[in-house]
Amino acid sequence: MFKIENLSVGYQNTQILDNLSVEFPSGAITGIIGPNGAGKSTMIKGALGLIKRQNGVARVDQRPIESHREQVAYVEQRANLDLTFPINVFDVVLSGSYGRLGLFKEPSKQDKQNALSALEQVNMLNFKERQIGDLSGGQLQRVFVARAIVQAAPIVILDEPFAGIDMKSESEIMSILKTWRAEGKTIIVVHHDLNKVTDYFDHLIILNRGIVAAGPVAEVYTKDNVSKAFSADLGNVLFTDDNDSKQEGVSHE
């Protein structure tokens, strides 16, 4: 069980999140949606202590995350990386073992074997010698998911994993997430649009500078909540009938 307690994050003059608390169930995929600037990535980074927070703590089974970082695998947004860096696919995936190894220890044969098997699971084994700049966006994302596999953490957090990637990569990543769910992991996905919300997620958090709604998708993904977080127009487009039948395939961007 992963939970965030009383998280407050702000930059200079703007308060982004104020005293936010939320829980993420294990054995489920939880989606986080919200308009641009809603504080989705901020919530994750604040919880993980990757950006300065004014208050709050994230806990893994009651223990603060700072002392149990090996419990969480974090797959950040791809956009922030230097793709010209002299590193190949295999070495990126192998770095998933670094947290467990700690200082002064080199990856073992077993770690290397794990990296190869993770690459196989995301169908990227043939690319293991490639420099990362040679990959497409979807292939690169699969490589980072493979790294998360190597981390073998019970909690996996992915920030916009499906943004700008091809259908094949998206479905391969989704099948990995489902495997993790079957293993009882806690999976948290920051999602950039409203496509496939009901297909992909078991639980949903709608965010807009604070929690608009949180809970099982069927209860949370309603015209009311979407209208409140995004706009009334979007709510009307997505939910044509009063009884909340959904129209798929509409992105809010």
Reduced to 3 states (helix: H, G, I; strand: E, B; else coil), residue 137 is helix
Query: Token pair of 213, please?
Result: 């709604």
Question: For residues 95 and 227, which CB has a smaller minimum distance to another protein in the complex?
Answer: 95
Q: State which of positions 47-86 bind another protein (CB under 8 A).
A: 48-50, 69-70, 72, 74, 76, 80-82, 85-86
Helix (H, G, I), strand (E, B) or coil at 15: strand
Judged by CB under 8 A, which of 13, 14, 62, 104 binds another protein? Answer: 104
Residue corresponding to tokens 């999140």: 17
Strand partners, 2: 24, 60
> Which of 13, 36, 106, 109: binder of another protein (CB under 8 A)?
106
Q: 71: how many CB neighbours lie within 10 A of its CB?
A: 16
∠ CA 187-6-12, rounded to 5°: 105
Range 11-50, binding another protein (CB under 8 A): 48-50
Q: Identify any residues that bridge with 214 across adjacent strands, giving them in sequence order.
A: 205
Please tell me the distance from the alpha carbon of residue 118 to that of residue 95, in angstroms, as a whole number. Answer: 12
Site for another protein in 145-174 (CB under 8 A): 147, 151
**Of residues 99 and 235, the one with the C-beta less far from another protein:** 99
Query: In the stretch 202-231, what mask flags binding to another protein with x, by CB under 8 A?
Result: ------------------------------
The distance of closest approach from Cβ of residue 187 to another protein in the complex, given in angstroms and rounded to an integer, is 16
Specify whether the CB–CB gap between 204 and 210 falls below 8 A.
no
User: What is the distance between the alpha carbons of residues 106 and 94, in angstroms, rounded to a whole number?
Assistant: 11
Look at the chain and count its residues: 253
- Window contacting another protein (CB under 8 A); options: 19-27, 30-38, 97-105, 209-217: 97-105
Q: What is the DSSP letter of 57?
A: E
Total residues contacting another protein (rule CB under 8 A)? 28
Beta carbon nearer to another protein, 139 or 151: 151
- Residues forming contacts to another protein in the complex (CB under 8 A) are 48-50, 69-70, 72, 74, 76, 80-82, 85-88, 91-92, 95, 98-99, 101, 103-104, 106-107, 131, 147, 151
